[in-house]
Amino acid sequence: MDESTSSHLDACAARSARLHPGLRFLFEGRTPALLAPMAGVNDIVFRRLCLEQGCDLTYTEMISSKALSFANEKTRHLLDLAEGERRVAIQLFGHEPEVMAREAAWVEDELGDALALIDINMGCPAHKIVKKGDGSALMRDPDLAASIVRDVACAVSCPVTVKFRRGFGAEEETAVDFGLRMEDAGAAAVTVHGRTAAQMYRGPSEWECVSRVKAALSVPVIGNGDIVSGASAADMVRATGCDGVMIARGAQGNPWIFADVRRVLDGMPPAPDPTRQDRVEMARRHIHLLSSRLGNTVVYMRKHVMWYLHGVPGASRARAALNACVTVDDFDRVLDELLADAARIEEEDRAYRDV
């Protein structure tokens, strides 16, 4: 056995020693691709579509522990399982250890074996979240953050994970120290986004930060930020050594990304790009499946539909009509018109090129 093989086996053994039994299904034998928790995006139909395309684990939208404690019905519906969702990750946000622990235990009781893990949001940079001391604000108070992780981990038997950023301030990089604190407090894995909270989503994600966290921690480290294809997912794994990849904005209107990521990470050629017909019909399917839950009024779908139609000829001109859609029939009519327009535009382009 050569030295590099020995070192690799030693590293694998070390990671296995720190792998929570509840995470073996996710990390043993492959590099998983996960759907990031996204507020206003991860409805049960979108999660179902991502699973169908090869996503290894879906997350709910982030859920307020405070709202759960008030028995808010709308918030509790965020825990509903999608069809085919045998396991789901629940992301909670809040800053009160006792409340977080109590509601995490309630979630575990409600979902039972369907609960893959409880993730604690310490990365959301939105002002309305940060001003309450939640999300990425917790990176400014590692002691409180550690108390939350410790109390939640004591309250549940499932794995507890943490999602955080490179740092809070514009030029800060505290991710390594923060990650070590979370690991010591009981986090079974961490997800690192390579931008600071101050950056929001501006500028490139610093994958070197993910690499430094991976080198310092013993628990699995999931990389997040600027993953938009199978190729970029593989680039992140090579650059950082991360144990998994989490996809956020790259999945919006693009559940096919998981098929592409899965193929590339498994050493196969990239998946073909979806056709305009694929994009329109996926948007239509999302609308119809969601209407069976919400009824005929599906205004919520407008943003999803525009994401799905990215790159479809004529989609930008159809924006006004799509933004006026209210019912399933409205969307069907506009999508049918768009398909006809796209075919006409492509035919005109071909005729022009042939002249």
Residues 200 and 292 both lie in one domain: no
Residues 146 and 234 both lie in one domain: yes
Do the domain assignments include residue 168?
yes
Do the domain assignments include residue 303?
yes
Residues 282 and 258 both lie in one domain: no
What tokens does 322 get? 């799509």
Distance CA 137, CA 36 (A): 19
Do the domain assignments include residue 271?
no
From the list 244, 172, 257, the residue with the least C-alpha distance to 206 is 172
Q: Identify the CATH number of the domain in which residue 120 sits.
A: 3.20.20.70
Q: Identify the CATH number of the domain in which residue 320 sits.
A: 1.10.1200
Strand 221-224 versus strand 189-193 pairing type: parallel
Please provide the DSSP assignment of 131-144 as one string: TTT-GGGGGG-HHH
Residues 245 and 318 both lie in one domain: no
Spell 269-282 as b/e; 16+ CB within 10 A means b: eebeebebeebbeb
Residues 240 and 338 both lie in one domain: no
Give the end of a domain, one of 235, 265, 295.
265
Do the domain assignments include residue 194?
yes
Q: At what angle do helices 276-294 and 301-308 cross, to 10 degrees?
A: 170
Which helix (H) or strand (E) segment holds residue 16: the answer is helix 3-17
Residues 221 and 84 both lie in one domain: yes
Give the end of a domain, one of 242, 265, 288.
265
Do the domain assignments include residue 260?
yes
Do the domain assignments include residue 112?
yes
pLDDT for 17 equals 47
Total domains in the chain come to: 2
Residues 334 and 190 both lie in one domain: no
Do the domain assignments include residue 185?
yes
Residues 224 and 284 both lie in one domain: no
Residues 200 and 61 both lie in one domain: yes
Do the domain assignments include residue 24?
yes
Q: Which of 12, 50, 55, 124 is catalytic?
A: 124
Q: Which residues of the chain have pLDDT under 50?
A: 1-14, 16-17
Residues 248 and 150 both lie in one domain: yes
Residues 300 and 348 both lie in one domain: yes
Residues 246 and 314 both lie in one domain: no
Strand 160-165 versus strand 189-193 pairing type: parallel
What's the pTM value of the predicted model, to 2 decimals?
0.91
Domain of residue 259, residue span? 3-265
The half-sphere exposure of 206 on its side-chain side, counting CA atoms within 13 A, is 18
Amino acid at site 215:
A
- 124 labelled catalytic: yes
Give the end of a domain, one of 207, 241, 265.
265
C-alpha separations of 186 from 112, 120, 135, 163, 218 in Å: 21, 12, 18, 14, 12
Q: Which residue has the tokens 């590293």?
A: 11
Distance CA 261, CA 268 (A): 10
